[in-house]
Structure 1
Amino acid sequence: MDGYRQRIVDRTLDEVFPHLAAIALEGAKAVGKTATATQRARTVLSMTTAPQRAALAGNLDLVTAVDPPVLVDEWQLVPDVWDRVRDAVDADRSGGRFLLTGSASPAPGLRVHSGAGRIVSLRMRPLTVAERGISDPTVSVRELLRGSSPKISGHTSLAVGDYADEILRSGFPGIRDLPERARDLQLDGYVSRVIDRELPENGMTVRRPAALRAWLAAYAAATASTASYTTLLDAATAGDDDKPARQTVAQYRDYLQRAFILDPVEAWMPAFAPLKRLGASPKHHLVDPAIAARLVGVGKQGLLVGEGAPNPATGTWLGALFESLVTQSVRVYAEAADSRIGHLRTRDGDHEIDLVIESPDRSCIAIEVKLSDTVHDTDVRHLAWLQRELGDRLIDRIVVNTGPYAYRRPDGIAVVPLALLGP
């Protein structure tokens, strides 16, 4: 495809698709799943097209009759196709046969069997900072996870204002390069389509769209925090005597997460459990911080002068969105290296680590996010604490910031501008 922008997930697909019969590429609308999957498909069956959707719904065997590799785009609109692909894989496990893209999990009432052992799921998210082509990364997360304390170096000209621009431009490939006004309208329309169309299409009856939008805005205002869901509901319904029932709000949360709009970072609970009194609340993040900014209604100037929702955990609203931008990228880099991320916070709040990457062998990297171009000793005190607690299991410590240079401090902690961090 002309103009296709190479994605990090392409490397994983190139490596594993020739050996796996079926892969489900999942993620929110507009992250680029179809463009990426189309690179590898000989036949495309699009469930967003009424004739093709009707043809497949009426004859599920069509997926095995056409030339492979077969892409079934937005498969969840014809949920039975999942089971048909699963059966086809049982009959023939040859690699590189099926790709399924989906922007929502099927509604809870639908019977869709697990694809375990037959269909491998890969998550796709908006463009990471490294994928946006705004700089050349010099520090690799995969290399850091090898535990060799690699040399840290590099220089970038990007500063706070540039990161504010990247937050607002978004990581959606089809949106980020639009003029500002058009981009903002597209982002507003994205939220409206999710509420008015995508959720109903996937089984949720939205009786009070305004209430759902208010709750989503409250969630956006809590970006990078662990605010309780009760607090979010109270913020969304301040002065409203007719509040949605907690069960309704729980459904909002469930459906928005199944549509990949909510992308929380779960609390990190080390399998080897040497740490005590850890909190269990997730950190709130939307699929893209640009959506959070639009929901709260703040632009670049407002971010730079400190307007918007105050966030005690990150200091400023821009700090919260910067942490969300870092999280969006680091999560993709970690998953590409077969690792997972979480956040760490003790129940008493004495210690907090913004991100912890844990590899399959349980070694860890701790990351603090700082909206600053300099790093002081007070900024790394939690990293020092975690090193004392975990010892050799903590193989590296990083501060991701907005400065110009990547380097290692005398205490061994790496300082890496976000623009220089890559997969």
Structure 2
Amino acid sequence: MKYRARVIDEELAELVADVPAVSVVGPKAIGKTESAKRHAGTILDLADVDQRIVVQSARREALAAAQPPVLIDEWQYDPDIWEAMRREVDADPSPGRFILTGSANPRDVRVHSGAGRLVRLRMRPMSLVERGSALPSVSLAALWRGEQQVAGTSDLGLGDYVDEILGSGFPGIRFASERSRPRLLAGYVESALEQDVPELGFVPKRPASLAHWVRAYAAASSTTATYESIAAAIPDDQRPTRATVNDYRDVLSHLWLLDQVPAFTLSRNRLAGLGRTPKHQLADPALAASLLRVTADTLLDTSAGREFASLRDGPLLGTLFESLATLCVRVYAQPLELDVAHIRTARGEREVDLVVHAPDGRTIAFEVKLAATPDDRDVRHLHWLGDRLGDDLVDKIVLTTGRSAYRRADGVAVIPLALLGP
């Protein structure tokens, strides 16, 4: 498959040219290795047992003799390689010595932080722009700079967004045949639970309980549901204890399969009574759809034709569309070194789906709506936030499934998700 450019490519190139070591982290099979290979002088694939044995026999010698940048792929299979890499960098801190990729953080294994030597770079499944599904006309970077122009027309309709939700941002799944994708997604989840979880040293007492919990978590996507309520959705005979739920969260986070959106905390005393509960998300909305056994027919009624599709399960589609929007916004915000959070007051009377923010308090706020044309009710929380943040609120945006990007008379930008890019 031809290499598809990723948003982090430029960021990775800059880091390789500037720091001794870069660690690219994220879920398995999202393209970390393919992106890193483009910069590597030598590749050490530690997922290959034979190559791993050779490297383990003389780690520092193998690293010292290799042509830099040395790509250490799936380093978690030999955690001691991290210490060998650190010692090599101590001896020669030249830029571009090492690139490490990993799809898991080893549990109960202590590795040096790499502070001052290594920069971690998060990679996520492909956004709409990276998939080639859309040609963006509105840049998040331009909006962050305060540029007001919002325009453009999208060819994607509601049915197309459903296809993107179900089609996945994992390259090997996204570009497989439509018939194969559901099987590949189900196999990805099955492999994670049955193989990757035990490889991290965690063996559930009741494997079926973990599968039930992941499915219940998927049903809570784009919500701030309590972990108690998530567990309550599991059959009584498989319901885990609170301690076991903590273990489940820990091991799945180490595999980068949970990608929660933290609560916004940068209030500068202007936002009182904010909730602190993260918003639940899996790494890819297609994983949630697979776990919930969702198909296009589950979400849409296309009996009158695809162009006139109507909602069959609007609430579920709304949560999955927000998951897709969250993935895209996170990918586009990362090169700007901006954090992504959500806002929900403790009593739930006010909430903003996503906020992109900098340490100095500047913020862009997003609402995510299935409707093609948002109304005044859809933007009321954006205006509430604007009243409190003042000039620190750089822009107010509604992401939609519509066709056209424009600004409302009240200044809110309405942008089809397909038209937003980095």
TM-score range, shorter chain: over 0.9
Corresponding position: 1:366 with 2:362: no
* Separation in structure 2 between the aligned mates of residue 405 and residue 32 of structure 1, nearest angstrom: 32
Return the letter of the residue paired with 1:13: L
1:15-414 to 2 correspondences below 5 Å: 15-61=14-60, 62-107=62-107, 109-146=108-145, 148-236=146-234, 238=235, 240-241=236-237, 243-270=239-266, 272-305=268-301, 316-414=315-413
Contact map agreement 1:32 1:173 (CA 8 A) in 2: yes
* Separation in structure 2 between the aligned mates of residue 91 and residue 273 of structure 1, nearest angstrom: 47
1:287–1:149 distance in 2 versus 1, CA, 3 Å: same
* Separation in structure 1 between the aligned mates of residue 15 and residue 287 of structure 2, nearest angstrom: 32
- Identical aligned residues as a percent: 49
1:242–1:137 distance in 2 versus 1, CA, 3 Å: closer
Structure 1 residues 372-381 or 270-279, which shifts more?
Answer: 270-279
Return the letter of the residue paired with 2:232: D
* Separation in structure 1 between the aligned mates of residue 396 and residue 315 of structure 2, nearest angstrom: 24
Contact map agreement 1:73 1:102 (CA 8 A) in 2: yes
Contact map agreement 1:298 1:307 (CA 8 A) in 2: no
Q: Please name the residue that 2:418 is paired with.
A: 419
* Separation in structure 2 between the aligned mates of residue 335 and residue 254 of structure 1, nearest angstrom: 24
Contact map agreement 2:355 2:363 (CA 8 A) in 1: yes
Return the letter of the residue paired with 2:226: S
* Separation in structure 1 between the aligned mates of residue 397 and residue 340 of structure 2, nearest angstrom: 14
1:242–1:160 distance in 2 versus 1, CA, 3 Å: closer
Contact map agreement 1:145 1:359 (CA 8 A) in 2: no
Return the letter of the residue paired with 2:293: G
* Deviation of the 1:271 alpha carbon: 5.1
* Separation in structure 2 between the aligned mates of residue 104 and residue 301 of structure 1, nearest angstrom: 34
What are the Cα deviations for residues 264-316 of structure 1, in whole angstroms up to 9, with x where unaligned?
101011152321000011111000000100100110011125566xxxxxx61
Contact map agreement 1:338 1:360 (CA 8 A) in 2: no
* Deviation of the 1:100 alpha carbon: 0.3
* Deviation of the 1:364 alpha carbon: 0.2
Could you tell me which runs of 5 or more consecutive residues in structure 2 were left unpaired when the two chains were aligned. 302-310
Return the letter of the residue paired with 1:125: R
Return the letter of the residue paired with 1:155: T
Query: For 1:180, what is the secondary structure of its paired residue?
Result: coil
Return the letter of the residue paired with 2:80: D
Could you tell me which runs of 5 or more consecutive residues in structure 1 were left unpaired when the two chains were aligned. 309-314
1:241–1:16 distance in 2 versus 1, CA, 3 Å: closer
What are the Cα deviations for residues 14-46 of structure 1, in whole angstroms up to 9, with x where unaligned?
222111110000000011001001111111111
Return the letter of the residue paired with 1:204: F
What are the Cα deviations for residues 158-179 of structure 1, in whole angstroms up to 9, with x where unaligned?
1110000000000001111212
What are the Cα deviations for residues 119-165 of structure 1, in whole angstroms up to 9, with x where unaligned?
1100000000111111210111111111x242000001111100000
* Deviation of the 1:241 alpha carbon: 3.6
What are the Cα deviations for residues 72-121 of structure 1, in whole angstroms up to 9, with x where unaligned?
111011001111111211221111110000001111x2121111111110
TM-score w.r.t. length of structure 2: 0.95
1:195–1:307 distance in 2 versus 1, CA, 3 Å: farther
Contact map agreement 2:209 2:238 (CA 8 A) in 1: no
Query: For 1:150, what is the secondary structure of its paired residue?
Result: coil
* Separation in structure 2 between the aligned mates of residue 367 and residue 273 of structure 1, nearest angstrom: 21
* Separation in structure 2 between the aligned mates of residue 416 and residue 316 of structure 1, nearest angstrom: 21
Query: For 1:316, what is the secondary structure of its paired residue?
Result: helix
* Separation in structure 2 between the aligned mates of residue 210 and residue 200 of structure 1, nearest angstrom: 14
TM-score w.r.t. length of structure 1: 0.95
Query: For 1:269, what is the secondary structure of its paired residue?
Result: coil
* Separation in structure 2 between the aligned mates of residue 330 and residue 280 of structure 1, nearest angstrom: 21
RMSD over aligned Cα atoms: 1.3
* Separation in structure 2 between the aligned mates of residue 57 and residue 262 of structure 1, nearest angstrom: 31
* Separation in structure 2 between the aligned mates of residue 368 and residue 114 of structure 1, nearest angstrom: 37
* Deviation of the 1:249 alpha carbon: 1.4
* Deviation of the 1:359 alpha carbon: 2.0
* Separation in structure 2 between the aligned mates of residue 75 and residue 12 of structure 1, nearest angstrom: 21
Query: For 2:135, what is the secondary structure of its paired residue?
Result: coil
* Deviation of the 1:181 alpha carbon: 2.5
* Separation in structure 2 between the aligned mates of residue 65 and residue 204 of structure 1, nearest angstrom: 36
Q: Please name the residue that 1:311 is paired with.
A: none
* Deviation of the 1:201 alpha carbon: 1.1
Query: For 2:24, what is the secondary structure of its paired residue?
Result: strand
Query: For 1:349, what is the secondary structure of its paired residue?
Result: coil
Q: Please name the residue that 1:312 is paired with.
A: none
Return the letter of the residue paired with 1:60: R
What are the Cα deviations for residues 33-71 of structure 1, in whole angstroms up to 9, with x where unaligned?
010011111111111100111122221111222111110
Query: For 1:353, what is the secondary structure of its paired residue?
Result: strand
* Separation in structure 1 between the aligned mates of residue 59 and residue 167 of structure 2, nearest angstrom: 40
Contact map agreement 2:155 2:403 (CA 8 A) in 1: yes
Return the letter of the residue paired with 1:215: W
Query: For 2:40, what is the secondary structure of its paired residue?
Result: coil
